[in-house]
């Protein structure tokens, strides 16, 4: 109901779906991974799932700081969103136990992960490069180096329900891939701007499905 109301009130974007597989299905468990251009990527994916009849099935991984946020924190808890803390060792057992409860659930559940951990910015790119050097991993040109801990943990916890993996690539019409300097105004609007005044004309989402 919340997504329906927001979709009516806020500016709309045309969502164009491409790919070599079906759209996410309304049964079983699934893990959706996506690149992370802008703050509003998760909003675009929620709207996409609303359009294909999965608006109540998506579970966003959220930081624990949002758990006790007035009003929103309660909504997130009621929606069964999993929360992550800064310490993986501390929160691992709690998260895995929570995810395993979905193995016996007959309702569809799609867990949305952004492996890059944050949107493209100069500061996040700097941290990604430093991490790649320390770990001896490649320095990517158009993405932040993805983190695999949450993804692997989700697969392990949901393995009994044979989860499907959906790989989503999000691209905004008119965005040329330039990473703005810190002092420049970003070419992609912030979340609040996107959902109120500067909704992009088109958002393209490419979907690839893995069993």
- Give the model confidence (pLDDT) of 96-127 as tens digits: 888 898 988 888 889 999 888 777 777 888 88
Locate the domains of the chain by residue range: 14-210
Q: Rounded distance, CA 19 to CA 208, Å?
A: 6
Total Cβ atoms within 10 A of residue 93: 9
CA 85 → CA 111, 191, 204, distances in Å?
A: 17, 23, 31
CA 113 vs. chain centroid, Å, equals 4
How high is the pLDDT of residue 182? Answer: 47
Q: 182-192 in b/e burial notation, b at 16+ Cβ within 10 A?
A: eeeebebbeee
CB 82 within 8 A of CB 61: yes
Q: What tens digit of pLDDT does each residue of 153-190 get?
A: 889 999 999 999 999 998 888 776 666 554 455 556 56
Averaged pLDDT, 65-81: 79
How high is the pLDDT of residue 41? Answer: 83
How high is the pLDDT of residue 197? Answer: 66
Comparison of pLDDT for 11 and 149, the residue scoring more: 149
Tokens (6 digits) for 56: 């109540």
pLDDT greater than 70 at residue 191: no
Q: Rounded distance, CA 107 to CA 11, Å?
A: 30
pLDDT greater than 50 at residue 138: yes
CB 40 within 8 A of CB 91: no
Averaged pLDDT, 123-140: 86
Q: In terms of DSSP bridges, do strands 109-113 and 58-60 run parallel, antiparallel, or are they unpaired?
A: parallel
| Residue 198 binned pLDDT confidence (cut-offs 50, 70, 90) | low
Averaged pLDDT, 129-151: 85
Q: Which residues pair with 170 in a beta bridge?
A: 205
How high is the pLDDT of residue 158? Answer: 92
Using alpha carbons, select from 56, 48, 43, 42 the residue that is nearest to residue 23: 48
Q: What tens digit of pLDDT does each residue of 16-68 get?
A: 988 876 778 778 899 999 988 777 788 888 888 888 888 778 888 887 777 77
């Amino acid at each position: 109901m919340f997504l329906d109301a927001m979709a009516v009130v806020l500016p709309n974007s045309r969502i164009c779906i491409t790919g070599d597989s079906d759209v996410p299905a309304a049964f079983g468990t699934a893990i959706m991974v996506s690149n992370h251009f802008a703050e509003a990527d998760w909003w675009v994916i929620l709207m996409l799932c609303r359009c294909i009849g999965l608006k109540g099935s998506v579970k966003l991984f959220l930081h624990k700081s949002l758990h006790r946020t007035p009003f929103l924190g309660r909504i997130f808890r009621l929606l069964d969103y999993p929360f992550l803390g800064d310490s993986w060792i501390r929160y691992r057992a709690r998260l895995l136990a929570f995810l395993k409860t979905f193995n016996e659930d007959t309702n569809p559940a799609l867990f949305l992960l952004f492996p890059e951990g944050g949107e493209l910015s100069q500061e996040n790119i700097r941290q990604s490069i430093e991490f790649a050097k320390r770990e001896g991993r490649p320095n990517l040109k158009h993405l932040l180096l993805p983190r695999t801990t949450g993804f692997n943990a989700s697969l392990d916890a949901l393995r009994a329900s044979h989860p499907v993996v959906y790989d989503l690539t999000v691209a905004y019409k008119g965005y040329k891939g330039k990473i703005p300097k810190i002092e420049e105004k970003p070419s992609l609007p912030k979340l609040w701007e996107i959902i109120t005044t500067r909704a992009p004309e088109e958002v393209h989402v490419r979907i690839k499905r893995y069993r």
